[in-house]
Amino acid sequence: MRTPRVALLLAVLLATAPATAGAGDAPPIASFPRSAGAPPRAPLAFAVQDDSEFLSHPERLQRTMAELHALGFTHVRLSAHWDQLTRTPHSRRRPRFAAASPGGYEQWKWIALDRAVRAASDHGLQVMVDVAFFAPLWATSGDAAGEPRPRNRVDPRAFADFAVAVAQRYSGRFAPSPSGPSALPRIETLTLWNEPNLAVFWGPQRRVLPGGRIALDSPHAYRRLATRAYAAVKRNRPELRVLVGGLASGPAWAPTARRAGIPALRFLREMACVDAALRPLRTPDCRDFSPVPGDGLAVHPYVLGHAPDFRPRGDRADTLTMGNLDTLSALLRALVERGRIAPALQDVYLTEFGYLTDSPTLDGRGLRNAFPKVGLDAQATFETRAHELAWDHPQVRMFAHFLVRDTLCADDSGPECIDWPSGLRFADGTSKPVEAALEASLYRHPRRDGDVDLWGRLGSDLWRRRGILEYELDGQWQPVRADQVRRFAGGGADGIFEVRVRGLSTSEFRINVR
C-alpha cells in the first residue's frame, strides 16, 4: 500500500552519463523480469493537441510531428472547425449542398486540416478529430446577428451531416482532387463536440422555467445531438471509434445560476436522466429518454493551481479532476448497470490536460489569463504524477497534453482571446522542463516496510532500450540490479513501468542512459 506522502525525483539526463561503479553490470529497465501475477494493463495512449501549431504553421509541421513521435506520443488530436470548413457560415440561410459528403465542401478550406492529418500519419501518429466548435450561423438559433462564435441551440441534423462528412473524408478512400495527392489517410477516432458543459462552447447551459426555477438545458440538448450524430456516423463507418462528451472539469455547482456552466459529473448524471441517487428523472427533457450512445467518454480533468491528486469537495464535488477519476469510473459503471449509457462509455479518454505556467510576453504586456499558474518545475512534476494517475485507472485508455507551444494573443486580438501557456515549449519554441521530462520521468513512493515503489515513463526508443534505473549510495550512483527488484510491471509499448525496489526507501533514484 502506498503511503499518502510521496516524493518526486525527475531525472532527465539527455546525454550519456559518465560510468559509475558497477557500470558493466547495469541492466536496462526493459530487461527486468515481469512479476508473476502482476495485473495486466493495456498500453496507455498518449495524445497531444495544438490546433494553432498543427493547423497554422506548415513550415515546421513535419519537424514537429517527428519530434512528438520521438517523445513517445501516439496520437494527435485535431479540430475540424465546422464554421471554418462549411459553406456560407455567416449566413442565416442554410446553403444547398451535399453536407454529408466530403465532396460537397469547398476543398480549399480543408487544406490545413488535410495537411496536418497527412503529416501525423507520415510520422506514425494516429489521428483523432474533434467534430467541433463553432457552428455556422445557419445551424443555430437564438444567436445575435454577427455572433462571432455561434453555438446556441445547434441543429442536431446539420451537425450529424458534418460529422459524417468528416468521417468519410478521413476514411482512407477520399482524395480532395483527382489530380492531387493520393487519398487522405484513415482516422480511427472522432469526438463529438468540445466541452458542451461550458457556456463558451455551448448555449444555452440553463433555462428559466415559469416561476423562476432553473432547468439544465445543455446536457439534454447535447444528448440529442450526440445520439443523432453517433448513429449517422456508425451507419457510414461502423468501425470508427466515436467518443462523446469532451467534458471540461466544470465550475463549482451553482443551482440558482442562470448562465453558468455545469460541473462534469453533474452534467453526466443529467445527460443520463438520473438524479444524485441515480434514480430516473421524470422531467419533460427525459420523457423520451434512450441510453446515451458512444464508444468512449472524452474528458478534460484540469486541476489548475493544484497538485494532480487534488480531490474537490463541497460545491466542487461534481467537478472532475485527476484526483477523483475513481468517482467518475464508479459513476460510469453504475450508469451502465442501470441501462442509462452504452457499456463502451466506461472507457475514459483524457483528451486534454495541462498546467499553465508563467510565460515570456510580447512587448512587455501581461498575460491575458487569470487562471492559476504553476512554476516550470512544478509543471513537469505535476504532469508526471497526472500521467501516473491515468495509468493507475484501468478504465482510462488515453492521457493527453495540451499544448505543444504556449499560445499568446496578438496585440490586436479581440477580448475573446486569452493566452494559454500550458505548452511543452514557450511561444518562441524554447523547451520547458516538462518537455525534457517526457524523455524520462520517475515518481517515487517510499513504503513503510523499507521498500520503495517507483513509477516511470520512458519516452523515446533510445531511453526505452537503454534506460537504466539508478540509486544514490554514499554519494555515488549505482545501478539497480535485478535481484534488488521485488516486483516489476509494465514495460510495454507505452514506455510505462512500475517497480518495487527492496530496502531503499530513503534513497534517491534516477533514470540514466549509457
3-state SS of 189-241 is: EEEECCCCCCCCCCECCEEECCCCCEEECHHHHHHHHHHHHHHHHHHHCCCCE
Position 146 scores a pLDDT of 60
What is the rounded CA–CA span in Å between residue 381 and residue 309?
12
Residue count (the chain): 514
**Residue 53 to residues 114, 205, 319, 427, Cα–Cα distance (Å):** 14, 30, 29, 10
Confidence of residue 181 (pLDDT cuts 50, 70, 90): confident
What is the rounded CA–CA span in Å between residue 190 and residue 216?
26
| Helix H or strand E encompassing 457 | strand 452-458
What is the rounded CA–CA span in Å between residue 358 and residue 346?
36
Q: Is pLDDT above 80 for 16?
A: no
Task: Please state the rounded mean pLDDT for residues 423-444.
Answer: 95
SS3 108: helix
7 vs 404, which has greater pLDDT?
404
Lowest mean pLDDT among 199-213, 286-300, 343-357: 199-213
Residue with cell 459503471: 333
Please give the share of the chain, as a percent, with pLDDT higher than 90. 83
At CB < 8 A and 24+ separation, what contacts does 487-490 make? Answer: 487/35, 487/38, 488/32, 488/33, 488/34, 488/35, 488/38, 489/34, 489/35, 489/38, 489/39, 489/41, 490/41, 490/391
Q: Is pLDDT above 80 for 177?
A: yes
What are the tens digits of pLDDT across the range 57-109?
999 999 999 999 999 999 999 999 999 999 999 999 999 999 999 999 999 99
144 vs 368, which has greater pLDDT?
368
* Mean pLDDT estimate for the chain: 92
**Residue 305 to residues 309, 354, 372, 401, Cα–Cα distance (Å):** 12, 11, 5, 16
Position 36 scores a pLDDT of 80
What are the tens digits of pLDDT across the range 465-505?
999 999 999 999 999 999 999 999 988 889 999 999 999 99
Task: Please state the rounded mean pLDDT for residues 347-372.
Answer: 89
147 vs 439, which has greater pLDDT?
439
Confidence of residue 15 (pLDDT cuts 50, 70, 90): very low
395 vs 41, which has greater pLDDT?
395
* Dihedral, CA of residue 20, residue 21, residue 27 and residue 33, to nearest 10: -130
Phi, psi for 198 (deg, rounded to 5)? -120, 140
Confidence of residue 5 (pLDDT cuts 50, 70, 90): very low
Position 452 scores a pLDDT of 96
Reading the block at residue 423, the C-alpha cell is: 505548452
What are the tens digits of pLDDT across the range 263-281?
999 999 999 999 999 999 9
